[in-house]
Structure 1
Amino acid sequence: MNQHPLIAQLLKTCEQHELLPSQGTLVAAVSGGVDSMVMLHALHLLQAEYSFRVHVATADHGLRGKAGQEDADYVEAIADEWGIPCSRATLDVPGLMESENLNLEAAARQARYTFLLKTAYSVGADRIAIAHNLNDQAETVLMNIIRGTGLHGLRGMLPLAPLSEEHLREDWQEYIRPGDEEIFPEDYTIIRPLFDIPRAMIRTYAEEQGIQPRYDVTNMDTLRARNAVRHDLIPVLSRLNPNIEATLCRLSQIIQGDVAVLEQHVEQMAAVLLEWTETTPAEDGEAGEAVYLDRHEFGKLLTGTQRGLLRKVIFDLSPGVRDVSFDTIERARDLILNGHTNAQLELPEDVLLQVGYDEVTIGYGGDPVYPHHLPHLTEDQILRIDPDAEKAAITAGHHELLTYWVVEGRSRDLRPTTPLECTLMVPEGAILALRTWREGDRFKPFGMGGHSQKLADTFTNLKVPVYFRQQVPLVTINDEIAWFVAPTASGPQSRIAETFAVQGDVPQAVLRLRWQTRPLLPLTE
């Protein structure tokens, strides 16, 4: 027996994008209109053969009075007739518009998707079928062009996409009330089985199968943007290109492939260029997330990659953000490339971009937390060197500074292998101390012939972020700065003072210093 062309195309789309679950339950969003009724009919026919179960979700949005209630009644009755379980809800879209200051389209979408997530959660489904078709995709692309968009807008909808918080009302967790169980929207997937099927084929199928859908008269109201595009604009464009809807869908398919390539490239660049960390608690007492980005390396990227990287950072920090405007991305790019030190830009959802010397910090909360893999101080500490003690140690947070003497002939190579170690010439009877930066501190960098400079200038030259400078551990000998290791945008940097540097032959015992992570203490009862 030959399959109906609509069923054949639906299966082709589902197989190409792996839309149908191999088992378990699939929630079908059904309004009673021709598209969703045909989708439900097709899924109902296929569920036994493909080993999944359909569960209907239908809702009255509270916008059309008795007509909206009758639509939901109709869907419930059809589901019962076909032996399909059904969940129903009455949504207060007008109330959501007022409380959240949303337009009609946004409020209806958030209310609807929140109800669909609640239904999927309650019946143990992780896929939600929406009846968007080929013509809907063309309209979406055209609407995005009219509003102003980039590649993601030209891409339009996807046949398979994860649900995200941007689809949901702000109080979605309270609405669903899962008890102690945590829900992650991204664990649920939106699928569009009719994605490649034109509206004309859907209507023909409905007539042939005796499906009598409900009709929403508000779909003819051209004061609504989508209706104006559907009933006014597309007929005009069709006079210029009779296949305008197929052309727009083909454009979206091309862009989908290009966006996939760009996103893959951006992910690769992000793995190389971005360093994630926590921030110190903000005024609300909660720490946030932040990311470091090297300004010089960012400047080497192509413009499209720069934009993609910034979009990724913003979306990763703020999953609830629906979109980021072109102007916002361009202001961020300009600030990174040309902004002065300490310049700031507020991004969506209170994300803050802060410009350093060579680095940029983007994130929430207060200042970034000191890199956990480097030693840092919150107060001064002193360790007196005992000339008779071969080894000693001083604790600083999660790290400890080990010191041990190396006598002539015991070590052939005194050069450090990492920034976390060094070798110093220490005068007899000297006092070794660890302390933090003080106003007026000076430092004699090795290689400058004993000339000193302000320690602040040394930090500036090394591009040590301002918010880390008060925590850099300074090793002093008789209160003169001898060595330090500090975080920079390019990684930890170590500097030794000319006064205490080991040069040439080693005529006397020298002191080796090495920072290491403190060993964990064994648990005791």
Structure 2
Amino acid sequence: MASTDSGQPDCTRREPLRPPASAGDPDRVHRELLRMGADERLWEPGDTVLVAVSGGPDSMALLHALHAAAPQLGVSVAAAHADHGFRPQASAREAETVRGFCARLGVPCETAELDVPAHLAEHGGNKQAEARRLRYRFLLEAAERAGAPRIALAHHADDQAETVLMRLLRGSSSAGLSGIPLRRQEGKAELIRPLLRIHKPDLLAYCERHGVPYEEDASNRSADYTRNAIRLEAMPYLEKFNGRLAESLCRTAESASAESDYLDARTKEVFASSVVSERGGLTMSGAAFAALHVALQRRLIKLILDYLALEMAPSSFDEVERIRVGALSGTPASWRVDLSRGLRFRREYGRLAWTRRADEEPLPYAVEIPEPDGVWTIAEAGLEIRFSAHRHTRDGTARFAASDADARTAFFDWDKLELPLLLRPRRSGDRMRPLGLNGTKKVQDMFVDGKLPPSRRPFLPLLCDGGGRILWIPGLRRSSHALADEGTRLLLRAEVRPAGGSSEPAGE
């Protein structure tokens, strides 16, 4: 077995099926690395860049090239290697190769044995997803210990081309065709991919010229994995029709990425200006949504769902489209659909709402009003009720009584009320004697008449007296009980407003 000039054993290089190192340009690695770093400002002078090193040719070439360019760039380089525990013997060789090469370069290196199989046996989960999650957690922790604001990953142009083709075959939105992002914030660190414009033959040629050791993962030769099949079978076949297929797919990714970045920025502007946070959910006007271009509608839905979801799995196109079509429909007046990731969408009288289903269960509450002055907040409904007492004057009663038509304000003769007053949510069978109507009416029917969104009905407080009579449905109707007249000595004024002081009517 050949050895490097550091005395560390080099590994056997197995000839990859595609493409040979002789087809590559080793000088292009250094040239494109500097160009990409400068054009995209992937690092700043004084940065420490942590390189995620698997032991394969791509990450080992990235480590060597960054280390060689570090004085010119004004950065420091550190390395981190994760052993997932799937291939014990091969993993040990990879770790030894990485440690030996880092020692040869004088690069600090942190390694970790993640033992993903043991984690899966104890906690379950998807093999690939859990390996990725544990790997990124380790990399973020290693970056923090190294004081590195950026983590460099070795995905290259051929990885990008394979990703775009794979997504095309599966069916993807334009955002999906942007492929692997050049940079992405993950926790406190930024993930960067300086090799995305460099192809595999160039990296292999670079390793050959500079004596960079690497381990070839034998599983890369198996077509049992979708990505491997794309690389080993689909790409070579399609290159018969386009000899520069990889370059074409990478151009598609760059173009789609730029357009996706622009649309993402516009979507975030719409989110900030039109979407309102309300009781653990998000709402917006149906009219405002309908005025958006269809591309923004779809992206806004995805952004809202990702904002609310506790699980990281993306929403499918079909789910997004079902919400979009439902949001634009005029009938029925109210419509809802349960979604993946524990979410729910509602359209209610021109209002759109996205919520977590677990947060929608109404919590019972009962708030006693012991005195005619004060402010009580009903957190479950996102409302506050203000009470104030006013002594009778010669013209005062008439002045206050004239304001009785305001749906957000009601007035009562304090002496005619049976105490204590109580604020509580609707109960099954509740009826009220509305002012101006002979007899009683179901509270549920008044909710419907007032077009109160169904999702708000379980939370809206009702003002009741000590005898259980419903005096007032804030924002909708008041009862005929305890009306003020010329004999009123003390007038109780009740006003409802959204908690936080907004002027939005409670019943709308």
Same fold (TM over 0.5): yes
Partner of 1:401: 387
Partner of 1:308: 299
Distance in 2 (CA, whole Å) between partners of 1:27 and 1:127 is 6
Q: Which amino acid aligns with 2:197?
A: D
Mapped pair 1:85 → 2:72 = no
Q: Which amino acid aligns with 2:211?
A: G
Change (3 A) 1:248 1:470: closer
Change (3 A) 1:249 1:450: farther
Q: 1:10 aligns with which of 26, 33, 43?
A: 33
Deviation at 1:298, TM superposition (A): 4.1
Partner of 1:522: none
Local SS of the residue matching 1:125: coil
Q: Which amino acid aligns with 1:259?
A: S
Partner of 1:459: 447
The 8 Å contact of residues 50 and 148 in structure 2, kept in 1 or not, is answered as yes
Distance in 1 (CA, whole Å) between partners of 2:214 and 2:404 is 75
The 8 Å contact of residues 57 and 116 in structure 1, kept in 2 or not, is answered as yes
Deviation at 1:133, TM superposition (A): 0.9
Q: Which amino acid aligns with 1:318?
A: A
Change (3 A) 1:229 1:395: closer
Deviation at 1:416, TM superposition (A): 6.5
Mapped pair 1:327 → 2:318 = yes
Partner of 1:472: 461
Partner of 2:70: 47
Q: Percent identity?
A: 24
Aligned residue runs from structure 1 range 92-107, under 5 A: 92-96=115-119, 98=121, 105-107=128-130
Distance in 1 (CA, whole Å) between partners of 2:466 and 2:124 is 63
Q: Which amino acid aligns with 1:351?
A: L
The 8 Å contact of residues 58 and 86 in structure 1, kept in 2 or not, is answered as yes
Partner of 2:22: none
Change (3 A) 1:74 1:339: farther
RMSD over aligned Cα atoms: 4.1
Distance in 2 (CA, whole Å) between partners of 1:342 and 1:432 is 40
Partner of 2:90: 67
Mapped pair 1:156 → 2:145 = no
Local SS of the residue matching 2:63: helix
Distance in 2 (CA, whole Å) between partners of 1:53 and 1:323 is 36
Local SS of the residue matching 1:321: coil
Aligned residue runs from structure 1 range 208-227, under 5 A: 208-227=209-228
Q: 1:113 aligns with which of 129, 136, 144?
A: 136
Deviation at 1:291, TM superposition (A): 2.8
Partner of 2:355: 362
Q: Runs of 5+ in structure 2 lacking a partner?
A: 1-25, 378-383, 498-508
Local SS of the residue matching 2:71: coil
Local SS of the residue matching 1:242: coil
Q: 2:493 aligns with which of 498, 505, 513?
A: 513
Mapped pair 1:136 → 2:154 = no
Partner of 2:431: 441
Partner of 1:169: none
Deviation at 1:76, TM superposition (A): 0.9
Aligned residue runs from structure 1 range 258-273, under 5 A: 258-273=259-274
Change (3 A) 1:454 1:296: farther
Aligned residue runs from structure 1 range 137-286, under 5 A: 137-163=160-186, 186-278=187-279
Local SS of the residue matching 1:62: coil
The 8 Å contact of residues 405 and 509 in structure 1, kept in 2 or not, is answered as yes
Q: 1:431 aligns with which of 410, 414, 417?
A: 417
Deviation at 1:138, TM superposition (A): 0.8
The 8 Å contact of residues 276 and 290 in structure 1, kept in 2 or not, is answered as yes
Deviation at 1:114, TM superposition (A): 3.1
Local SS of the residue matching 1:239: coil
Distance in 2 (CA, whole Å) between partners of 1:148 and 1:353 is 25
Distance in 1 (CA, whole Å) between partners of 2:196 and 2:392 is 74
Distance in 2 (CA, whole Å) between partners of 1:18 and 1:129 is 13
Q: Which amino acid aligns with 1:363?
A: R
- TM-score of the pair, normalised by structure 2: 0.75
Distance in 2 (CA, whole Å) between partners of 1:49 and 1:65 is 38
Q: Which amino acid aligns with 1:393?
A: D
Q: Which amino acid aligns with 2:431?
A: D
- TM-score of the pair, normalised by structure 1: 0.73
Deviation at 1:60, TM superposition (A): 3.4
Distance in 1 (CA, whole Å) between partners of 2:492 and 2:175 is 56
The number of aligned residues is: 457
Change (3 A) 1:233 1:512: same
The 8 Å contact of residues 402 and 513 in structure 1, kept in 2 or not, is answered as yes
Q: Runs of 5+ in structure 1 lacking a partner?
A: 164-185, 279-288, 371-375, 384-391, 486-492, 518-525
Q: Which amino acid aligns with 2:409?
A: C
Range 312-321 or range 466-475, more displaced: 466-475
Deviation at 1:193, TM superposition (A): 1.0
1:3-25 Cα shifts (integer Å, max 9, x gaps)? 95432321222233322244343
Change (3 A) 1:481 1:218: closer
Local SS of the residue matching 2:77: strand
Partner of 1:422: 409
1:134-181 Cα shifts (integer Å, max 9, x gaps)? 111111111122223223321111111122xxxxxxxxxxxxxxxxxx
Change (3 A) 1:273 1:49: same
Deviation at 1:268, TM superposition (A): 2.7
Distance in 1 (CA, whole Å) between partners of 2:113 and 2:240 is 42
Distance in 2 (CA, whole Å) between partners of 1:377 and 1:416 is 29
Local SS of the residue matching 1:365: helix
Change (3 A) 1:208 1:417: farther
Change (3 A) 1:49 1:393: same
Distance in 2 (CA, whole Å) between partners of 1:339 and 1:200 is 59
Partner of 1:520: none
